[in-house]
Amino acid sequence: MKKISIFALIGSLFVSAFAYANEVNIFNARHYKADAELYSKFTNKTGIKVNLINGKSGALEKRIISEGKDSSADLYITADAGRCGAMDAKGTLQGGLSSEAIKAAVPSTFRTNKWVGIAKRARIVYYSPERVSGAELSGLTYESLADPKWKGRLVIRKSSNIYNKSLVASLIKNNGKKATAEWAKGVVSNMARTPTGNDRAQIMAVAAGEADIAVANTYYLALMLSGKKGAEQQAAAKKVKAFFPNQNDRGTHMNISCAALVKGAPNKKNAIKLVEFLLTPESQEHFTNNTFEFPMIDGVSPSPLVVNNLGLDFKQDMKTKLASYGKNQAAAVEVMTAAGWK
């Protein structure tokens, strides 16, 4: 009886150890039902259980930092390369997220060996076709948003918004801090109102005639057009058109949803397997058709809503490495604050 009990105990411990090894813990700041469905597909294919710890990015980051080496987090998944870059700067990430499959799938611009893009988005200009002429749009760049011709005609989110931090960080990388500081003053002077609301609110402001142009991410228009945000937003989205800046030089500012490998990840191998799964055509199609982001990999088309209303053939900025967003984030905040960007 004792032998049986000992063998049973050993077997139980083996099963427990295997169960622990056969999981992956995601600290998740992306709040899409579609993502959870994708993780279920991963579990069904691999047998690896996905434990989701959902929360806002700030709260999750504080928890990872405070728990340190005792953190159970394997991956931190969030929107914006600037957030992943900032976490890296705080020493919370580790290298190793650079398997051959990942390197083959993701251009070097959109990854480091600590975090990698799993989907893309562009931060573009939306305009009223009734009040903005083709001549005004010709050659439009992010830099020219500071042109006095847009005075009282522009809406954009607050300076504290991470998407704006990364956009301004990219301008600092390309044009220098001094030039970007002058640009920020021009943008503030051109604002039609004090910054308020999310990206969809900027698009709705143009539709309502409160401004002529707005800066917002690409997937928001498709989300509004889909009807998932109600009839009012759907109607507003139909009143604006999209424009991709900087087509005659470096290309349109790009950003990502990113997966970062947390230092001390207890299930590192499984974390890498999950990221590789997120970069397969099956997963990328799931992203594009549910969150309306652009695919990270070649060979997958965006959602028809995106293609039909935003277009597919535009020049992306492949020159500016997204790692610079985190590195220039503090300077971006300084520049916007000095310009009076609320």
Contact 185, 339 (CB under 8 A): yes
Least confident segment among 7-16, 132-141, 271-280, 329-338: 7-16
Q: What is the pLDDT of residue 32?
A: 87
Q: What is the pLDDT of residues 253-311, one digit of tens each?
A: 999 999 999 999 999 999 999 999 999 999 999 999 999 999 999 999 999 999 999 97
Our CA dihedral for 25, 26, 27, 32, rounded to 10 degrees, sits at -150
Least confident segment among 7-21, 110-124, 208-222, 280-294: 7-21
CATH architecture classification, 2-120+256-301: 3-Layer(aba) Sandwich (3.40)
Tell me, rounded to whole angstroms, the distance of Cα 69 from its chain centroid. 26
Q: What is the pLDDT of residue 21?
A: 66
Q: Kindly tell me if the per-residue pLDDT of 13 is higher than 50.
A: no
Q: What is the pLDDT of residue 7?
A: 40
Q: What is the pLDDT of residue 19?
A: 43
Q: What is the pLDDT of residue 297?
A: 97
Tokens of 291: 């969150």
Strands 115-127, 213-217: pairing is antiparallel
Q: What is the mean pLDDT of residues 48-68?
A: 96
Taking each helix axis as running N to C, give the angle between helix 329-338 and helix 81-89, from 0 to 180 degrees, rounded to the nearest 10.
110
- At which residue do the structure tokens 């002429």 appear? 133
Percent above pLDDT 90 for the chain: 91
Least confident segment among 18-27, 199-208, 273-282, 285-294: 18-27
Q: Does domain 122-253+320-338 have CATH number 3.30.230.10?
A: no
Distance CA(184)–CA(197), nearest Å, equals: 19
Q: What is the pLDDT of residue 64?
A: 97
Contact 80, 255 (CB under 8 A): yes
Contact 225, 305 (CB under 8 A): yes
Indicate the pTM of the whole model: 0.92
Q: What is the pLDDT of residue 311?
A: 79
* Sequence-ordered list of residues with C-beta below 8 angstroms from that of 220, at least 6 positions apart, any chain: 199, 200, 203
Q: Kindly tell me if the per-residue pLDDT of 17 is higher than 70.
A: no
